[in-house]
Amino acid sequence: MDIRFQNLGPEHWKAQVMLAPACQGEDILHQCPELDKAAPWLAVAPARRDFQGKNGELALFHGHPDLPVPRVLAVGLGPREKADAAVLRKAVAAAVQRCREQGFASILLPEPALARLPGGPERLVEESVCAALLALYRFTMLKKAEADEPVDPQWLALGFDGQSVPDGAHAAARRGERAAGAICLARDLANMPANLLPPEALARRAAELAKECGFTCTILESDALAEQGMGALLAVGQGSARPPCLVVLEHAPQGHEQEKPLIFVGKGLTFDTGGICLKPAANMQQMKCDMSGAAAVLAAIAALAREDAPRRVVGLLACAENMPGGRAMRPGDVVRAASGDSVEIVNTDAEGRLALCDALAYAQKQWTPAAVVDIATLTGACAVALGTEVAGLFCDDAALAERIVAAGGACGENYWQLPLWKPYAESLKSEVADICHMGPREGGAINAALFLQHFLQKGVRWAHLDIAGVDWNAKKTPLCPVGASGFGARTLLELARGGVQ
């Protein structure tokens, strides 16, 4: 769906349907006076009074089919004091889905109506555009088209009052479009089944995107991993016929080549069977999403390169497939990580931290990071603790943690900070190696985070995002069908757009 603009005020707007966002308990014509000009017939439509403006409510009104705006879709936002960006996102998404079901080819969203809501007009333009595009996301590339499948609207236009579209609003719409593009790319990558997207295919996809968007992509294959001493990442991949790799992405725009990069590290397990410590069969198919962290990193960097963001950003994708093959790592194995530490492996299903620890070491060896942010579907324990709507954040740098919570909160990706509880690091002591990769079941998300922290040098700003649980959407919502959610892509994008202070 194209995002377009119309100006010169409601008398000149034209589309098959106009959305009218409205709060509860207030007359829709008062809230959206543009309707008087764009759809004057609504004033005399008695059915108008059936619309109450409840959160989630949609009401479609029909005028004469030959009018420039023949229909109005009233979009309920609930009580005004609760109508924030999150409510608007969901409402716009539900409205756009309704338009698709109805077969409307063109939609008009009046900007003045957004400007009357709290939150800032440009922000709400950005959020509306992003939500409208997310609403249409489907993972259809492996399916024949169904005969009765609804067709996406061709365009959504933002309607403006003045002679021209303000630059700020124009830019905001483009930002929203770009954010939606990143999220949809992350969803596509994570929804792709593991047979069709093994580590080497994920790396190839990254290289293609690098060419398309203009960032660099280097792939470290098994030999290079061995050269770098990445025994942990190699161990994770060694039970699979498809070898592991580390994908190195860099966006270094002109004039920023020498700046300290912001480094994103993503867990890229294209499938996680658990290895020799095999997972139960129930829901194991969801483990095709165990590369959601890597997908978020790749999608964010592609978006940053596309908009030529004025910041140096590096992305590391630690890719492997955790399989129980004949060469698989075993419980009790000791491997040498890139940091030089020997690591005792207890449960082969705690593989993500092994893949990440080598990538974290590499990040600090190759660059002087402004900050390192890793993102991973790391622990079931995090999903148990926080559920499926809010992700875990581990960070001892208060300013960085605050930036991440703010960046995520603004775009509907919420984080809750959990402690890097130092005393628990005792439980990572090993009888036979420098460190053990896991502690007890209790505090599992914290123990995993503490293991990662072990590989960070003093003074390096670092945050760990545990997105297990939020990476998968089990029930369809206006903003996301069942499947991969793309969670994290936009947080990283906003983090880099805003810079880390």
Q: Which is nearer to Mn ion, 126 or 272 (CB)?
A: 272
Q: Among the options 353, 403, 490, 497, which is catalytic?
A: 353
Q: Which is nearer to ligand BES, 239 or 444 (CB)?
A: 444
User: What's the per-residue H, E or C state across 52-121?
Assistant: CCCCCCEEEEECCCCCCCCEEEEEECCCHHHCCHHHHHHHHHHHHHHHHHHCCCEEEEEHHHHHCCCCCH
Question: Cα(341)–Cα(366) distance, rounded to whole angstroms?
Answer: 18
On whether the CB atoms of residues 41 and 10 are closer than 8 A, the answer is no
User: Residue 289 CB, nearest distance to Zn ion (Å)?
Assistant: 10
69 CA to centre of own chain: 35
Quick one: which of 442, 461, 440 has its CA closest to 260? 461
Active site residue 353: yes
Site string for ligand BES, 466-495 (x = CB under 6 A): --xx--------------------------
User: Residue 439 CB, nearest distance to ligand BES (Å)?
Assistant: 8
Q: Which residue is nearest to ligand BES (CB)?
A: 380
For residue 394, which phi and psi values (nearest 5 degrees)?
A: -120, 120
Q: Which is nearer to Mn ion, 181 or 444 (CB)?
A: 444
User: Residue 381 CB, nearest distance to ligand BES (Å)?
Assistant: 5
Out of 272, 344, 358, 494, point to the residue binding ligand BES (CB under 6 A).
272
Active site residue 429: no
Confirm or reject binding of residue 290 to ligand BES (CB under 6 A). Answer: yes
User: Residue 378 CB, nearest distance to Zn ion (Å)?
Assistant: 7
Q: Which is nearer to ligand BES, 62 or 279 (CB)?
A: 279
- Give the pair of three-digit tokens for residue 245: 């790799």
Q: Of 188-196, 348-356, 385-393, 450-458, which part binds Mn ion (CB under 5 A)?
A: 348-356
Confirm or reject binding of residue 194 to ligand BES (CB under 6 A). Answer: no
Q: Among the options 116, 279, 306, 461, which is catalytic?
A: 279
User: Residue 274 CB, nearest distance to Mn ion (Å)?
Assistant: 5
On whether the CB atoms of residues 318 and 356 are closer than 8 A, the answer is yes
- Give the pair of three-digit tokens for residue 46: 């008695």
Q: Which is nearer to Mn ion, 12 or 330 (CB)?
A: 330
* Helix, strand, or coil (residue 158): strand
DSSP code string of 284-323: GGGGGGTTHHHHHHHHHHHHHHHTT-SS-EEEEEEEEEE-
Q: Which is nearer to Mn ion, 93 or 335 (CB)?
A: 335
Confirm or reject binding of residue 272 to Mn ion (CB under 5 A). Answer: yes
User: Residue 203 CB, nearest distance to Zn ion (Å)?
Assistant: 18
Interface with ligand BES: number of residues (CB under 6 A): 16
Interface positions, 320-379, toward ligand BES (CB under 6 A) = 347, 349-352, 377, 379
**Mutual angle of helices 167-191 and 121-135, in 10-degree steps:** 30
Q: Which is nearer to ligand BES, 73 or 350 (CB)?
A: 350
On whether the CB atoms of residues 128 and 114 are closer than 8 A, the answer is yes
Out of 57, 122, 250, 349, point to the residue binding Mn ion (CB under 5 A).
349
Question: Cα(158)–Cα(129) distance, rounded to whole angstroms?
Answer: 9
On whether the CB atoms of residues 242 and 198 are closer than 8 A, the answer is yes
Interface positions, 416-455, toward ligand BES (CB under 6 A) = 438, 444
- Give the pair of three-digit tokens for residue 423: 């005393």
Question: Cα(479)–Cα(459) distance, rounded to whole angstroms?
Answer: 39
128 binds, among Zn ion, ligand BES, Mn ion, none (CB under 5 to 8 A by kind): none
Q: Which residues are catalytic?
A: 279, 353
Site residues for ligand BES per CB under 6 A: 272, 290, 347, 349-352, 377, 379-381, 383, 438, 444, 468-469
